[in-house]
Amino acid sequence: MMLKKKNIKINGDTIFKYAIGSSVVVLIMLIVGIFVSLIVYSYPTIAKFGFGFISGHTWDPVTEEFGAYPFLIGTLITSFIALILSFPVSIMISILLSEYLKSGVIHNYVKSSVELLAGIPSIIYGFWGLFIFVPVVREVQMYFGITPYGIGILTASLILSVMIIPYSATIAYEVISLTPSEIKEAAYSLGATHFEVIRKVILPYSSSGIVAGVLLSLGRALGETMAVTMVIGNSHILPDTLFAPGNTMASVIANEFTEATSDVYLSALIEIGLLLMIVTAFINVVGKMIIKKFSVGMS
């Protein structure tokens, strides 16, 4: 190295700089490494089925014909229904905590219960769903005269929506709390009611943060495995109604990986993993664009 001696100073600053630099490098290498190894190990099916892997409707391990379309649809439907159901609830919780119950025993109680929801292991959600929630859904199905499976796409979406509430709610709460009191007071001084301040000042101000929280919860919903596997019915047939059993990409991998012995089968499961990663990345990129658009609109 041709560096002058005075430039090499080993002090806290330099060490810290290299430490953060190297952790970033490690992180990027990890992501790239995972991506590359997924591609390498799924190459046999990529070569064999090509695009047919995504558009194919048949998943038959016996004849080794693999099409992941039903699982792709299952993942997207359950995640988005969960998102639609959980979004209003999380927004209301965060507004309640930041605007109406700003402190006190109830505030702390509600806030920690929401945070606790995120800490419950997904297997617990799964068992709770299977033994407590599914019978309720079954009663409803019997009332409407639908085949009373109890489990299925809708049940999985409902469980998922509960599971992802804490992610969007806590982030929304944090950003709403960050709204400067000056602009809120300015709105009040112009005669705005509390509701109008929330609707026209606070929500627009914190919209990008709220979207970020929604994205995080969507990511969680897309990849959730255990709880979904237990209540979705694990059927390889494309669901025709919301009550029908279906399957998601993550739960197919969890179910079939241990006993997948043939090379093509294993490769097909790894390709599902690759597909799941691409879908998640794609949704993240789209979300970032939405956030950017919102922020521009603000300024």
Partner 1 sequence: MKKTLSIILLSAMVMGITFTAKAVELVGAGATFPYPLYSKMFDTYYQLKKVKVNYQSIGSGGGIKQLLSKTVHFGASDAVMEDEEKAKAGIKVHHIPTCFGADAITFNLPGVTKMNLTPDLIADIFLGKITSWDDKRIAKVNPKIKFPKMPIVVVRRSDGSGTTYIFSDYLCKISSEWESKVGRGKSLNWPVGIGGKGNEGVSGLVKQTPGSIAYVELIYAIGNKMPVASVQNLSGNFVYPSIQSVSESANIELPDNTEVSITNTNAKNGYPISSFTWILVYDDLSVLKMKDDEAKAMMNMLWWMIHDGQKLVKPLHYAPLSPAAVKKAEGLLKSVKLNGKNILK
Binding site for partner 1 (CB under 8 A): 58-63, 130-131, 134-135, 138, 147-152, 229-230, 233-236, 245, 251, 254-256, 258-262
- Token code pair at residue 50: 């090509």
Q: Which is nearer to partner 1, 103 or 261 (CB)?
A: 261
- Token code pair at residue 198: 């929330």
Smallest distance from the beta carbon of 278 to partner 1, in angstroms? 24
β-pair partners for 65: 60
Q: Which is nearer to partner 1, 134 or 274 (CB)?
A: 134
Q: Which is nearer to partner 1, 253 or 291 (CB)?
A: 253
- Token code pair at residue 90: 């999380």
Smallest distance from the beta carbon of 39 to partner 1, in angstroms? 22
> What phi and psi, each to the nearest 5 degrees, are found at residue 270?
-65, -35
β-pair partners for 60: 65
Smallest distance from the beta carbon of 247 to partner 1, in angstroms? 8
Smallest distance from the beta carbon of 50 to partner 1, in angstroms? 20
Smallest distance from the beta carbon of 292 to partner 1, in angstroms? 41
Q: Which is nearer to partner 1, 97 or 268 (CB)?
A: 268
At a CB cut-off of 8 Å and minimum separation 6, what does 169 contact? 89, 90, 91, 93, 94, 114, 213
Q: Give the amino acid at 71.
A: F
Q: Do the Cβ atoms of 162 and 117 come closer than 8 Å? A: yes
Q: Which is nearer to partner 1, 107 or 138 (CB)?
A: 138
Q: Which is nearer to partner 1, 152 or 213 (CB)?
A: 152
At a CB cut-off of 8 Å and minimum separation 6, what does 250 contact? 75, 222, 223, 224, 225, 228, 229, 276
Tell me the angle at which helices 153-177 and 203-223 cross, rounded to the nearest 10 degrees.
140
- Token code pair at residue 166: 């804490």
Smallest distance from the beta carbon of 211 to partner 1, in angstroms? 34
Tell me the angle at which helices 203-223 and 263-298 cross, rounded to the nearest 10 degrees.
180
